[in-house]
Amino acid sequence: MSSTTTSWPSLRVADWTATRETLHMWTQIVGKIRMAHAPLLNHWWQVTLYVGPRGLTTSAVPFGTGAFEIELDLLGHRLEVRSSDGGALGFGLAPMPVAEFYGKVLDVLGRLGVSAPIRPHPNEVDPAIPFAEDHTHASYDAEAATLFWRQLLQANRVIGEFRSHFVGKVSPVHFFWGGMDLACTRFSGRTAPPHPGGVPNCGDWVMVEGYSRELSSCGFWPGGGEEGAFYSYSYPAPDGFAEAPVGPDGAFYSADFQQFLLPYEIARAAPDPDRAVAEFLRTTYAAAADLGRWDRSALEDDPLRWA
Protein backbone atom coordinates (compact mmCIF):
# COMPACT_ATOMS: atom_id res chain seq x y z
CA MET A 1 0.00 0.00 0.00
CA SER A 2 1.44 3.36 -1.00
CA SER A 3 1.93 6.13 1.54
CA THR A 4 1.99 8.77 -1.17
CA THR A 5 0.00 11.94 -0.67
CA THR A 6 0.00 12.83 -4.35
CA SER A 7 -3.26 14.14 -5.70
CA TRP A 8 -4.22 10.77 -7.21
CA PRO A 9 -2.97 8.27 -4.60
CA SER A 10 -2.73 4.52 -5.01
CA LEU A 11 -4.75 2.32 -2.65
CA ARG A 12 -5.23 -1.33 -3.55
CA VAL A 13 -8.70 -2.57 -2.66
CA ALA A 14 -7.27 -5.87 -1.41
CA ASP A 15 -4.94 -4.08 1.01
CA TRP A 16 -7.63 -2.47 3.16
CA THR A 17 -10.58 -4.87 3.07
CA ALA A 18 -11.01 -5.13 6.84
CA THR A 19 -10.75 -1.36 7.35
CA ARG A 20 -13.08 -0.69 4.41
CA GLU A 21 -15.76 -2.98 5.80
CA THR A 22 -15.49 -1.41 9.26
CA LEU A 23 -15.52 2.14 7.88
CA HIS A 24 -18.56 1.21 5.80
CA MET A 25 -20.47 0.33 8.96
CA TRP A 26 -19.31 3.53 10.68
CA THR A 27 -20.58 5.64 7.77
CA GLN A 28 -23.91 3.78 7.91
CA ILE A 29 -24.35 4.74 11.57
CA VAL A 30 -23.53 8.40 10.89
CA GLY A 31 -25.72 8.49 7.78
CA LYS A 32 -28.68 6.91 9.54
CA ILE A 33 -28.51 9.61 12.22
CA ARG A 34 -28.77 12.25 9.50
CA MET A 35 -31.66 10.34 7.92
CA ALA A 36 -33.51 10.26 11.27
CA HIS A 37 -33.70 14.06 11.42
CA ALA A 38 -33.64 15.39 7.84
CA PRO A 39 -36.91 15.61 5.88
CA LEU A 40 -37.29 13.36 2.85
CA LEU A 41 -35.89 14.70 -0.40
CA ASN A 42 -36.49 13.05 -3.76
CA HIS A 43 -34.34 9.94 -4.34
CA TRP A 44 -33.15 9.92 -0.69
CA TRP A 45 -30.85 12.90 -1.18
CA GLN A 46 -31.35 13.83 2.49
CA VAL A 47 -29.49 10.75 3.77
CA THR A 48 -26.10 11.23 2.12
CA LEU A 49 -22.73 12.34 3.39
CA TYR A 50 -20.43 14.82 1.64
CA VAL A 51 -16.71 14.95 0.94
CA GLY A 52 -15.14 17.66 3.07
CA PRO A 53 -11.63 19.11 3.37
CA ARG A 54 -10.79 16.55 6.09
CA GLY A 55 -13.07 13.59 5.50
CA LEU A 56 -16.81 12.93 5.29
CA THR A 57 -19.52 15.07 6.85
CA THR A 58 -23.28 15.08 7.27
CA SER A 59 -23.32 18.86 6.71
CA ALA A 60 -25.87 20.72 8.88
CA VAL A 61 -28.64 18.40 10.12
CA PRO A 62 -31.83 20.09 11.42
CA PHE A 63 -32.63 19.39 15.07
CA GLY A 64 -35.32 21.30 16.93
CA THR A 65 -34.80 24.98 16.10
CA GLY A 66 -31.08 24.47 15.52
CA ALA A 67 -28.74 22.04 13.80
CA PHE A 68 -25.83 19.70 14.34
CA GLU A 69 -23.09 18.18 12.20
CA ILE A 70 -21.19 14.90 12.41
CA GLU A 71 -17.80 14.72 10.74
CA LEU A 72 -15.61 11.68 10.18
CA ASP A 73 -12.23 13.40 10.09
CA LEU A 74 -10.13 10.95 8.07
CA LEU A 75 -7.10 13.23 8.16
CA GLY A 76 -6.97 13.83 11.92
CA HIS A 77 -8.75 10.51 12.67
CA ARG A 78 -11.52 11.74 14.91
CA LEU A 79 -15.29 11.75 14.93
CA GLU A 80 -16.52 15.25 15.76
CA VAL A 81 -20.06 16.36 16.57
CA ARG A 82 -20.79 20.08 16.60
CA SER A 83 -24.11 21.73 17.40
CA SER A 84 -25.48 25.20 16.71
CA ASP A 85 -25.76 25.93 20.43
CA GLY A 86 -21.98 25.81 20.72
CA GLY A 87 -21.57 22.23 21.89
CA ALA A 88 -18.73 20.16 20.46
CA LEU A 89 -17.62 16.66 21.43
CA GLY A 90 -15.86 13.76 19.76
CA PHE A 91 -13.47 10.85 20.07
CA GLY A 92 -10.47 9.40 18.29
CA LEU A 93 -10.82 6.94 15.43
CA ALA A 94 -8.80 3.80 16.05
CA PRO A 95 -9.29 0.05 15.71
CA MET A 96 -12.53 -0.75 17.56
CA PRO A 97 -15.58 -2.95 16.98
CA VAL A 98 -18.61 -1.40 15.32
CA ALA A 99 -20.49 -2.02 18.58
CA GLU A 100 -18.02 0.16 20.49
CA PHE A 101 -18.11 2.90 17.84
CA TYR A 102 -21.91 2.86 17.92
CA GLY A 103 -21.94 3.19 21.69
CA LYS A 104 -19.48 6.08 21.61
CA VAL A 105 -21.53 7.94 18.98
CA LEU A 106 -24.71 7.55 21.03
CA ASP A 107 -22.89 8.74 24.15
CA VAL A 108 -21.57 11.88 22.43
CA LEU A 109 -24.98 12.69 20.94
CA GLY A 110 -26.67 12.11 24.29
CA ARG A 111 -24.29 14.47 26.08
CA LEU A 112 -25.07 17.10 23.45
CA GLY A 113 -28.82 16.54 23.84
CA VAL A 114 -29.30 15.07 20.36
CA SER A 115 -31.53 12.02 19.96
CA ALA A 116 -30.65 9.22 17.54
CA PRO A 117 -33.82 7.19 16.76
CA ILE A 118 -32.33 5.02 14.01
CA ARG A 119 -32.92 1.47 12.79
CA PRO A 120 -29.77 0.00 14.38
CA HIS A 121 -28.67 -2.39 11.67
CA PRO A 122 -26.99 -1.86 8.28
CA ASN A 123 -28.58 -1.88 4.83
CA GLU A 124 -27.41 -3.16 1.44
CA VAL A 125 -25.07 -5.74 2.99
CA ASP A 126 -25.45 -9.41 3.88
CA PRO A 127 -25.23 -10.41 6.64
CA ALA A 128 -26.63 -7.31 8.31
CA ILE A 129 -25.23 -7.56 11.84
CA PRO A 130 -27.00 -5.16 14.25
CA PHE A 131 -24.60 -2.36 15.16
CA ALA A 132 -24.73 -3.05 18.90
CA GLU A 133 -23.81 -6.69 18.28
CA ASP A 134 -21.13 -6.22 15.62
CA HIS A 135 -17.79 -7.27 17.08
CA THR A 136 -16.70 -8.70 13.72
CA HIS A 137 -15.76 -5.44 12.03
CA ALA A 138 -13.10 -3.84 14.20
CA SER A 139 -10.25 -2.65 11.95
CA TYR A 140 -9.02 0.86 11.28
CA ASP A 141 -5.86 1.45 9.25
CA ALA A 142 -5.49 5.22 9.51
CA GLU A 143 -3.21 5.46 6.47
CA ALA A 144 -5.71 3.56 4.30
CA ALA A 145 -8.62 5.69 5.55
CA THR A 146 -6.73 8.86 4.61
CA LEU A 147 -5.82 7.53 1.17
CA PHE A 148 -9.45 6.58 0.52
CA TRP A 149 -10.53 10.11 1.45
CA ARG A 150 -7.91 11.47 -0.95
CA GLN A 151 -9.35 9.27 -3.71
CA LEU A 152 -12.80 10.64 -2.88
CA LEU A 153 -11.44 14.18 -2.88
CA GLN A 154 -10.24 13.86 -6.47
CA ALA A 155 -13.39 12.05 -7.61
CA ASN A 156 -15.57 14.70 -5.96
CA ARG A 157 -13.66 17.49 -7.71
CA VAL A 158 -13.76 16.02 -11.23
CA ILE A 159 -17.36 14.81 -10.98
CA GLY A 160 -18.32 18.24 -9.63
CA GLU A 161 -16.89 19.89 -12.74
CA PHE A 162 -18.81 17.42 -14.91
CA ARG A 163 -22.00 18.24 -12.97
CA SER A 164 -21.62 21.94 -13.81
CA HIS A 165 -22.40 21.31 -17.49
CA PHE A 166 -25.96 20.18 -16.70
CA VAL A 167 -28.78 22.66 -16.03
CA GLY A 168 -31.58 20.12 -15.75
CA LYS A 169 -32.41 18.26 -12.56
CA VAL A 170 -29.15 16.91 -11.14
CA SER A 171 -28.16 15.61 -7.73
CA PRO A 172 -25.31 16.95 -5.63
CA VAL A 173 -22.08 14.99 -5.69
CA HIS A 174 -22.72 12.98 -2.54
CA PHE A 175 -21.66 9.83 -0.68
CA PHE A 176 -24.23 7.06 -0.33
CA TRP A 177 -23.34 5.04 2.77
CA GLY A 178 -25.52 2.10 1.68
CA GLY A 179 -23.25 1.18 -1.23
CA MET A 180 -20.24 3.18 0.04
CA ASP A 181 -19.98 5.12 -3.21
CA LEU A 182 -19.70 8.73 -4.32
CA ALA A 183 -22.42 9.53 -6.86
CA CYS A 184 -23.90 12.23 -9.07
CA THR A 185 -27.11 11.67 -11.03
CA ARG A 186 -28.59 13.51 -13.99
CA PHE A 187 -32.29 13.22 -14.89
CA SER A 188 -34.04 13.43 -18.25
CA GLY A 189 -37.27 14.81 -16.78
CA ARG A 190 -39.31 11.69 -17.57
CA THR A 191 -40.68 9.08 -15.18
CA ALA A 192 -39.13 5.61 -15.07
CA PRO A 193 -40.68 2.16 -14.68
CA PRO A 194 -40.74 0.92 -11.06
CA HIS A 195 -37.37 -0.47 -10.01
CA PRO A 196 -37.49 -4.24 -9.31
CA GLY A 197 -35.50 -3.92 -6.08
CA GLY A 198 -33.64 -6.96 -4.86
CA VAL A 199 -30.89 -5.16 -2.93
CA PRO A 200 -29.82 -7.11 0.21
CA ASN A 201 -31.45 -5.95 3.45
CA CYS A 202 -33.09 -2.98 1.78
CA GLY A 203 -36.81 -2.70 1.07
CA ASP A 204 -37.79 -2.66 -2.59
CA TRP A 205 -39.69 0.57 -1.92
CA VAL A 206 -36.34 2.24 -1.21
CA MET A 207 -35.17 1.48 -4.75
CA VAL A 208 -38.54 2.51 -6.22
CA GLU A 209 -38.06 5.98 -4.71
CA GLY A 210 -34.42 6.17 -5.70
CA TYR A 211 -35.10 5.27 -9.34
CA SER A 212 -38.49 6.89 -9.86
CA ARG A 213 -37.22 9.09 -12.72
CA GLU A 214 -35.20 8.28 -15.84
CA LEU A 215 -31.55 8.90 -15.05
CA SER A 216 -27.88 8.67 -15.91
CA SER A 217 -25.70 8.20 -12.85
CA CYS A 218 -21.95 8.23 -12.38
CA GLY A 219 -19.59 7.97 -9.47
CA PHE A 220 -16.67 6.28 -7.73
CA TRP A 221 -16.58 3.30 -5.38
CA PRO A 222 -13.85 1.16 -3.76
CA GLY A 223 -14.51 -1.85 -6.00
CA GLY A 224 -14.63 -2.77 -9.68
CA GLY A 225 -10.86 -2.45 -10.12
CA GLU A 226 -7.62 -3.13 -8.26
CA GLU A 227 -7.83 0.36 -6.72
CA GLY A 228 -11.55 1.01 -7.11
CA ALA A 229 -13.41 2.25 -10.17
CA PHE A 230 -15.38 5.09 -11.67
CA TYR A 231 -18.78 3.88 -12.87
CA SER A 232 -21.62 5.05 -15.07
CA TYR A 233 -25.04 3.53 -15.73
CA SER A 234 -28.49 4.46 -16.97
CA TYR A 235 -31.92 3.54 -15.63
CA PRO A 236 -33.70 2.32 -17.56
CA ALA A 237 -30.84 1.41 -19.87
CA PRO A 238 -31.80 2.28 -23.48
CA ASP A 239 -31.35 -0.26 -26.24
CA GLY A 240 -27.73 -0.46 -27.35
CA PHE A 241 -26.33 1.19 -24.22
CA ALA A 242 -23.99 -1.67 -23.31
CA GLU A 243 -22.49 -1.68 -26.82
CA ALA A 244 -21.96 2.09 -27.05
CA PRO A 245 -18.39 3.25 -27.73
CA VAL A 246 -16.94 5.09 -24.72
CA GLY A 247 -13.55 6.38 -23.63
CA PRO A 248 -10.83 6.46 -22.57
CA ASP A 249 -8.94 3.29 -23.39
CA GLY A 250 -9.45 0.85 -20.56
CA ALA A 251 -13.10 1.73 -19.92
CA PHE A 252 -15.49 -1.17 -20.46
CA TYR A 253 -19.04 -2.37 -19.90
CA SER A 254 -19.36 -4.86 -17.05
CA ALA A 255 -22.15 -7.38 -17.62
CA ASP A 256 -21.85 -8.39 -13.95
CA PHE A 257 -22.49 -4.87 -12.65
CA GLN A 258 -24.57 -3.73 -15.66
CA GLN A 259 -22.64 -0.48 -15.94
CA PHE A 260 -19.56 1.01 -17.52
CA LEU A 261 -16.40 0.95 -15.41
CA LEU A 262 -13.12 2.82 -15.59
CA PRO A 263 -10.67 1.25 -13.12
CA TYR A 264 -9.20 3.92 -10.87
CA GLU A 265 -5.66 2.66 -11.49
CA ILE A 266 -6.05 3.36 -15.22
CA ALA A 267 -7.23 6.91 -14.56
CA ARG A 268 -4.50 7.48 -11.96
CA ALA A 269 -1.74 6.35 -14.35
CA ALA A 270 -3.01 8.40 -17.30
CA PRO A 271 -0.92 11.40 -18.45
CA ASP A 272 -3.84 13.63 -17.40
CA PRO A 273 -6.10 11.81 -14.88
CA ASP A 274 -8.63 14.66 -14.85
CA ARG A 275 -9.05 14.43 -18.60
CA ALA A 276 -9.32 10.63 -18.56
CA VAL A 277 -12.09 10.64 -15.95
CA ALA A 278 -13.88 13.53 -17.66
CA GLU A 279 -13.85 11.63 -20.97
CA PHE A 280 -15.36 8.60 -19.25
CA LEU A 281 -18.11 10.65 -17.62
CA ARG A 282 -18.87 12.58 -20.81
CA THR A 283 -18.97 9.64 -23.23
CA THR A 284 -21.00 7.32 -21.00
CA TYR A 285 -23.54 10.05 -20.29
CA ALA A 286 -23.74 10.87 -24.02
CA ALA A 287 -24.47 7.21 -24.75
CA ALA A 288 -27.35 7.21 -22.25
CA ALA A 289 -28.73 10.59 -23.34
CA ASP A 290 -28.47 10.05 -27.09
CA LEU A 291 -29.78 6.50 -27.12
CA GLY A 292 -32.50 7.49 -24.64
CA ARG A 293 -33.43 10.55 -26.72
CA TRP A 294 -32.98 13.11 -23.98
CA ASP A 295 -33.57 16.76 -24.87
CA ARG A 296 -29.90 17.61 -24.46
CA SER A 297 -30.19 21.16 -25.80
CA ALA A 298 -32.59 22.01 -22.97
CA LEU A 299 -30.68 20.12 -20.26
CA GLU A 300 -27.08 21.18 -20.87
CA ASP A 301 -25.19 24.48 -20.98
CA ASP A 302 -21.66 25.85 -20.83
CA PRO A 303 -20.58 26.53 -17.24
CA LEU A 304 -18.39 29.36 -18.56
CA ARG A 305 -21.37 31.10 -20.20
CA TRP A 306 -20.90 34.20 -18.02
CA ALA A 307 -17.10 34.22 -18.08
- Partnered with residue 73 across adjacent β-strands are 55, 78
**Sequence-distant (≥ 6) Cβ neighbours of residue 239 within 8 angstroms:** 291
Cβ–Cβ under 8 Å, residues 130 and 120: yes
pLDDT value for 2: 40
pLDDT value for 5: 41
pLDDT value for 6: 61
pLDDT value for 217: 98
| Greatest Cα-to-Cα distance within the chain, rounded to the nearest angstrom | 56
Q: Please list the rounded mean pLDDT of every run of 10 residues in the chain (307 residues).
A: 63 97 98 97 97 98 97 98 97 98 98 95 97 98 98 98 98 98 98 96 96 98 96 98 98 97 98 98 98 98 96
Instruction: Return the SS3 of 116.
Output: coil
Cβ–Cβ under 8 Å, residues 187 and 214: yes
Q: Which long-range contacts (CB under 8 A, 24 or more apart) does 46-50 make?
A: 47/176, 47/177, 48/172, 48/174, 48/175, 48/176, 48/177, 49/174, 49/175, 49/177, 50/172, 50/173, 50/174, 50/175
Q: How far apart, in whole angstroms, are the C-alpha atoms of residue 97 and residue 90? A: 17
Question: Which residue from 79, 65, 6, 74 is spatially nearest to 37, judged by alpha carbons?
Answer: 65
pTM above 0.75, yes or no: yes
Q: How far apart, in whole angstroms, are the C-alpha atoms of residue 298 and residue 307? A: 20
Query: With 0-12 CB in 10 A as exposed, 13-18 as middle and 19+ as buried, what is 100?
Result: middle
